[in-house]
Amino acid sequence: MGNERWEQQLREGAARAEEEVRKVVAYINDEVVPEIRVNGSQALRAAAAELQKLAERMDQRRAAASGGATPPPPPAAEKGKP
């Protein structure tokens, strides 16, 4: 019985992750790609910000599922450096 619960949780987590990826892809297609044609560097920054948000939500869900604390954010990159 415990194995079935674990499998159900895994399926639910995978479904949530797939939905988040679909949202990011839709955002990129609808908002970022047209912007890239106009101003590439700003559009890439917007995409990076959305991907950062997605990564943070995934970390928060993982931490909540495991009962742990939210991991600290990665160090901020210095402006002007790749």
Predicted model pTM: 0.47
**4-63, pLDDT tens digit by residue?**
888 888 899 899 999 999 999 999 899 888 877 777 777 788 889 999 999 999 999 998
Give the model confidence (pLDDT) of 48-63 as tens digits: 999 999 999 999 999 8
Which among 28, 34, 72 has a CA at the least distance from the CA of 50?
Answer: 28
- pLDDT at residue 67 tops 60: yes
Q: With 60 as the cut, is the pLDDT of residue 1 above it?
A: no
Please give the pLDDT value at position 6.
87
The length of the chain in residues reads: 82
Domain ranges for the chain? 2-66
Angle, alpha carbons 8-11-66 (nearest 5°): 75
